[in-house]
Structure 1
Amino acid sequence: MAATSTYNEQELLQMLSQNDSTAFEILYDIYWESLYNTAYKRLQHEEHCKDAVQDVFADLWTRRKELEIDNLGAYLHTAVRFQVLKLVNRHSTRNTYFDPFETVLISYMNADGKVREKELSRIITAWMEELPRKRREIFLLYFEQERTTKEIAAQLNISQKTVQNQLGTAMQSLQAHIAVHLLFIVSSGI
């Protein structure tokens, strides 16, 4: 974390919700580098990484009055990962299994509220428990530890194509799992 502050994170978020641009600048200074590094692990393109981080901070400022965030670091890093997915989809045909998942998930995440955030987390956790052990391990290495498919293949002593196939299968499964739950939530008006 690049900046130090006499305020804790929740105080800064409260100040931010009251249009305090100084609080925004402090949060920007604290998180910019780690968010950039998160984006760079995937994109390895300086301008695209800067764009992704800027988009996240622009959204934070735009939605400052309506957001209810318990863990800002986790929220911002998740938002950067979604920005990265959008950029990857826009600039690559190799990662087509992200497109439908991204569309469903981003539209859901753009809807506000702690209830939806917790519900989505519960849905994903339940889905992950159902995955075969090796597929779950690959999924977690890729999304939580931000390893490349090449790194995962080397670590698990399997082919990179197997890693890509397992990720594709996992993403299709997660998309279907979330879509079913979102349809239920939307149809029941939750």
Structure 2
Amino acid sequence: MIIKPENSTYELMERIKRNDSEAFEELFENLWEPLYRRAKTILLDEDIAKDVVQEVWVDFWQRRDEIVNDNIEAYLMQSTRFRVYKELKRSPLKKDHLTYLDTVECHSSTDDVVIFNQTEQMIHHSVDQLPNRCKQIFKMSREEQLSNAEIASQLNISKRTVETQISFAIKNLKLRLSSFVFWIMF
């Protein structure tokens, strides 16, 4: 995501609330792709994923005055998740997928949630400990879900360098997290 330094998401949101379509367009251009990838990953259908993300953006524009500026990216990701879930409920072909999601949600206990949160914190902390370039490449790969070729193109480096950096990051994370995983198991 590339938001111009002078246009933080907070500032963009303030401008959007004043009906600034250019600010909306900038936010849209920067966040459409991650929202689309999130929807497509779950729905496994490009066209439906595009429709879902379009609905999220329409709803966002219509409700722009009601939205709090805390974390617009998180708000839009959550909105996408809810729209995806709604789409899964509507689609008869996706009933098995929805049943699986419901089952997973029903079986998670408080302990599971605590362990998940601790694990997530540990992973984020471990990623933050990586060298800057390695961390950047790893986040582009895992959080933004860019391909190695896309990362190489954006950073103007070879695809092999991207692969090496991701491999280094994974080995480093495994090493850092191995003792934590052992602790969780016992």
Aligned residue in 2 for 1:60: 60
For structure 1, the residue ranges without an aligned partner over 5 or more in a row are 100-127, 147-190
Structure 1 stretches (4+) deviating beyond 3 angstroms?
2-5, 96-99, 132-137
Per-residue Cα deviation, 1:6-36 (whole angstroms, up to 9, x for no partner): 3111110000001010110000001000000
Q: TM-score under structure 1 normalisation? A: 0.51
Aligned residue in 2 for 1:93: 95
Kept in 2, the 8 Å contact 1:36–1:49? The answer is: yes
Q: TM-score under structure 2 normalisation? A: 0.52
- Is 1:13 the counterpart of 2:10? The answer is no
| Structure with the larger RCO, 1 or 2 (CA within 8 Å, 6+ apart) | 1
Kept in 2, the 8 Å contact 1:53–1:80? The answer is: yes
Amino acid at match of 2:33: E
For structure 2, the residue ranges without an aligned partner over 5 or more in a row are 103-107, 121-141, 144-186
After TM superposition, give the deviation of residue 133 of structure 1 in Å. Answer: 3.5
Kept in 2, the 8 Å contact 1:69–1:75? The answer is: no
Amino acid at match of 1:66: E
Matches within 5 A, 1:108-147: 131-133=110-112, 137=116
Count of aligned residue pairs for this structure pair: 112
Change (3 A) 1:11 1:3: closer
Which is higher, the Rg of structure 1 or of structure 2?
2
Equivalents in 2 of 1:41, 1:9: separation in Å? 25
Per-residue Cα deviation, 1:58-86 (whole angstroms, up to 9, x for no partner): 01100111211300111110110111101
